[in-house]
Amino acid sequence: MVHDHHHHDNDDQSHLSEIELRVRALESILVEKGYVDSAAIDVLVETYEVKVGPRNGAKVVAKAWADPAYRDWLRTDATAAIASLGFLGRQGEHMVAVENTPEQHNLVVCTLCSCYPWPVLGLPPVWYKSAPYRSRAVLDPRAVLAEFGVRLPETTRVRVWDSTAEVRYLVIPMRPERTEGMSEEALADLVTRDSMIGTGLALQPEAMR
């Protein structure tokens, strides 16, 4: 199934909620008056979406890889295990960690809206909130994964978890091979945001060199 990227990118404004439109309007006034620089806003958003936010989740995953006791705690009570590292806050009150294995790959979607675990992943990426991702991740998760460049063995089943306002999921990606002896800090560098949503895999250590 070819996914047409063009049809929902051109009408930039139509998919925005009323709040988002108001934020855009406010932002353009501030930029116009010279109070803020639009490039600075972009940097801020990118920082939360890509750098700061997911770094928290990456620390959680790295600790789970390195510390079996913590991993067990994360699997039994993710909310408390995550809070113990200081990552608390709204949109992260009820967390469930789901672990990828050779037998099962987990993919997270929020079909109703775009519930997303902010304290561990920062801001949701634009595609996470898009209707095509939300509907197709449920109907044909393998095709969606293939579009993200993730090809799994036929024997691995794909399980889709639907986030709600009550429960948000964090995927614990499989630990890459040849990472024995790496520090938690170094391991965290291998954990991408997409790998914690399930649309990616953790990076291989050689990719970091």
Q: What is the pLDDT of residues 150-169, one digit of tens each?
A: 999 999 999 999 998 889 99
pLDDT digits (tens, 9 = 90+) for 37-57: 767 777 767 766 666 678 899
CATH superfamily to which 18-208 belongs:
Nitrile hydratase alpha /Thiocyanate hydrolase gamma (3.90.330.10)
Per-position DSSP letters for 173-190, written without gaps between them: PPPPSS-TT--HHHHHTT
CB 189 within 8 A of CB 58: yes
Q: What is the pTM of this model?
A: 0.76
Is 38 considered catalytic here? no
110 in a known ligand binding site: yes
The per-residue pLDDT of the chain, averaged, comes to 84
The pLDDT of residue 6: 37
Is 135 considered catalytic here? no
Residue of 28, 113, 135, 183 marked catalytic: 113
d(CA 12, CA 20): 12
28 in a known ligand binding site: no
- Amino acid making up residue 88: L
pLDDT tops 50 at residue 11: no
Is 183 considered catalytic here? no
130 in a known ligand binding site: no
The pLDDT of residue 7: 36
Q: Which residues pair with 104 in a beta bridge?
A: 157
